[in-house]
């Protein structure tokens, strides 16, 4: 880390002609199990990774925010601190910084926030499903907090950054921001919501986790895929609530419906079979069931970039969410009980998760499916997509004694099989372990 800070310091001096006052890092994450259920209110089980976003910062007396990036592909950006505008139509890198900045600004009602010179470096592959965007939002939030000499708990920071990332248009649930702040070396975390809390999960010592990038980029703010799934789950919650005589118009997520009904996840899965048909629901059918107008559906329930979606797969999405939420709890229990066949049992759960993501949630892609199959072929006990999907990375649980062979075989079979993958960087395939959360460094 010291070497990286010194290198960033030199680049900062070259760029701004001054010395940074402090540095902030925020890690990416890999979700071991619990995909697309945080925004439904359910617990997830991620770990922070060693790959991170690092920002060198100099507070300045002017009311200007100057952002620059060590990667020449990302252009410089400057704006006045009292004129923060986040363009949802073009999710460029600086807009994620502005999300974190604006979150702190609004939380404290800062009328004259401190101006800053900032130089960003990052080793989380972008659009890979390792949460580079949320790490940047978290890093920016902590930068803004420190520059304005303010303080918050890690949980408060995570909650603010979760809300503020929605300024970019993504209706996320809070997992990425929570683990970026609450991550600890050597430990995965069970992250629960409402209220936000984190519980240590000790992973099996005889296995490693391997991250493999499919080389298919996916920016969840750039398409409506992600938000469509959020809205389908919201509609499913309203259907279930109305069917059971609850105040359906107030129901926003599936977990709160389960809590109000006071039933188990297994009972919710039975209810899904009872309430929904497997064919997609049209806008008209949704309106008829909820007894609302099309205008009410579009303006009161759907978010802006999903208002033109014509079909909603409520049965498939709800079935995935309840079954995936159950797998998270099973995963944690296996880690706690530590049976002799723990690695096999955990791998089975990861494999089931991928099948559900592929078939029910439809958030995989052919390249990810191929990559998961290749990893299993060469020794992974379990392999699944991680992150939003539609590209990005797979995470695999690999017995440590099989790790070298798996890395070599996956490199040859997946990355060297296509010309466009031959030039990928080494960081597209690597073993990782749980890393620490966001930090402030005062000296390089």
Using alpha carbons, select from 218, 216, 211 the residue that is nearest to residue 421. Answer: 216
Q: Which residues contact 92 (CB under 8 A, 6 or more apart)?
A: 74, 77
Q: Judge whether 176 counts as a catalytic residue.
A: yes
Q: Which residues pair with 187 in a beta bridge?
A: 184
3-state secondary structure of 410: helix
Are the beta carbons of 114 and 81 closer than 8 angstroms? yes
pLDDT over 70 (residue 65)? yes
> β-strands 45-60, 22-33: how paired?
antiparallel
Q: Which residues contact 6 (CB under 8 A, 6 or more apart)?
A: 444
The helix or strand, by DSSP H or E, that contains position 57, with its residue range, turns out to be: strand 45-60
CA quadruple 109, 113, 118, 121: dihedral, nearest 10 = -10
Q: For residues 140 and 174, what is the distance between their CA atoms, to the nearest angstrom?
A: 16
Q: Which residues pair with 66 in a beta bridge?
A: 78, 117
387 is a domain residue:
no
Q: Please give the structure tokens belonging to residue 315.
A: 């049965």
**Mean local confidence (pLDDT), 326-346:** 97
Tell me how many degrees the CA angle 241-247-252 measures, rounded to the nearest 5: 65
**Mean local confidence (pLDDT), 292-320:** 96
Using alpha carbons, select from 57, 159, 163 the residue that is nearest to residue 442. Answer: 57
For residue 198, the enclosing domain spans 1-202+435-442
The one catalytic residue in 38, 121, 176, 348 is: 176
Confidence class of residue 125 from pLDDT cuts 50, 70 and 90?
confident
Of all residues in the chain, the percent with pLDDT exceeding 70 is: 97
Q: Kindly give the residue spans of alpha helices, DSSP state H, lying in 188-337.
A: 225-243, 254-261, 265-275, 283-290, 294-296, 314-337
425 is a domain residue:
no
Tokens 């503020």 belong to which residue?
164
Query: Helix, strand, coil shares of the chain as percentages rounded to 5?
Result: 45, 20, 35
409: number of Cβ within 10 Å? 16
Of all residues in the chain, the percent with pLDDT exceeding 90 is: 86
Q: Phi, psi at residue 422, to the nearest 5°?
A: -65, -30
pLDDT over 60 (residue 331)? yes
Q: Which residues contact 72 (CB under 8 A, 6 or more apart)?
A: none
Summarize pLDDT for 85-121 with one digit per residue, the tens.
Answer: 998 887 899 999 999 999 999 999 999 999 999 999 9
Q: For residues 98 and 116, what is the distance between their CA atoms, to the nearest angstrom?
A: 12
pLDDT over 80 (residue 243)? yes
B/e letters for 287-300, b = 16+ CB within 10 Å, e = fewer, are: bebbebeeeebbee
According to the model, what pLDDT value does residue 91 have? 80
- Mean pLDDT, the chain, whole residue set: 94
Burial class (CB in 10 A: 0-12, 13-18, 19+), 420: exposed
Q: Please give the structure tokens belonging to residue 376.
A: 């299993």
**Mean local confidence (pLDDT), 183-194:** 94
Are the beta carbons of 108 and 148 closer than 8 angstroms? yes
**Mean local confidence (pLDDT), 362-370:** 97
According to the model, what pLDDT value does residue 427 have? 66
321 is a domain residue:
no
According to the model, what pLDDT value does residue 333 have? 98
198 is a domain residue:
yes
Q: Residue 98 maps to which CATH number?
A: 3.30.230.10
According to the model, what pLDDT value does residue 259 have? 98
Confidence class of residue 169 from pLDDT cuts 50, 70 and 90?
confident
226 is a domain residue:
no
Confidence class of residue 444 from pLDDT cuts 50, 70 and 90?
low
307 is a domain residue:
no
Q: How many domains does the chain have?
A: 1
> β-strands 281-282, 429-432: how paired?
unpaired
Confidence class of residue 218 from pLDDT cuts 50, 70 and 90?
confident
pLDDT over 70 (residue 222)? no
Q: Please give the structure tokens belonging to residue 305.
A: 């970039």
């Amino acid at each position: 880390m010291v070497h990286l800070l010194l290198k960033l310091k030199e680049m900062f001096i070259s760029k701004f002609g001054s010395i940074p006052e402090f540095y902030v890092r925020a890690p990416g994450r890999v979700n071991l199990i619990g995909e697309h259920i945080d925004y439904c209110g359910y617990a997830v089980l991620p770990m922070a990774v060693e790959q991170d976003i690092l920002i060198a910062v100099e507070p300045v007396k002017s009311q200007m925010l100057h952002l620059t990036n060590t990667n020449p592909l990302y252009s410089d950006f400057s704006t006045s601190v009292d004129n923060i505008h986040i363009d949802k139509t073009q999710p460029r890198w600086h807009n994620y910084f502005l999300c974190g900045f604006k979150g702190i600004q609004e939380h404290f009602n800062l009328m004259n926030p401190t101006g800053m010179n900032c130089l960003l470096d990052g080793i989380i592959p972008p659009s890979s499903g390792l949460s580079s965007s949320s790490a940047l939002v978290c890093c920016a939030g902590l930068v803004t907090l420190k520059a304005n000499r303010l303080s918050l708990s890690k949980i408060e920071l995570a909650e603010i950054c979760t809300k503020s990332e929605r300024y970019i248009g993504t209706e996320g649930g809070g997992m990425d921001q929570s683990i970026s702040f609450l991550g600890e070396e050597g430990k995965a975390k069970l992250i629960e919501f409402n209220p936000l809390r984190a519980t240590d999960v000790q992973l099996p010592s005889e296995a490693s986790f391997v991250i493999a990038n499919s080389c298919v980029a996916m920016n969840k703010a750039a398409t409506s895929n992600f938000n469509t799934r959020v809205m389908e789950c919201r509609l499913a919650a309203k259907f279930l609530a109305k069917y059971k005589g609850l105040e359906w118009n107030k129901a926003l997520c599936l977990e709160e419906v389960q809590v109000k009904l006071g039933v188990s996840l297994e009972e919710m899965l039975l209810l899904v079979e009872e309430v929904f048909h497997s064919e997609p629901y049209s806008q008209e059918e949704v309106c008829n069931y909820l007894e609302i107008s099309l205008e009410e559906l579009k303006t009161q329930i759907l978010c802006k970039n999903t208002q033109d979606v014509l079909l909603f797969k409520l049965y498939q999405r709800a079935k995935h969410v309840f079954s995936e939420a159950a797998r998270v709890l099973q995963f944690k229990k296996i880690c706690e009980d530590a049976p002799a066949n723990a690695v096999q049992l955990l791998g089975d759960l990861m494999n089931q998760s991928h099948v559900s993501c592929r078939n029910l949630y439809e958030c995989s892609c052919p390249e990810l499916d191929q990559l998961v199959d290749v990893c299993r072929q060469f020794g992974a006990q379990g392999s699944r997509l991680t992150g939003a999907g539609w590209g990005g990375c797979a995470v695999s649980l690999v017995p440590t004694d099989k790790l070298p062979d798996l890395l070599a075989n996956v490199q040859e079979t997946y990355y060297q099989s296509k010309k466009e993958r031959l030039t990928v960087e080494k960081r597209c395939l690597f073993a990782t372990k749980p890393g620490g959360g966001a930090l402030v460094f005062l000296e390089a």
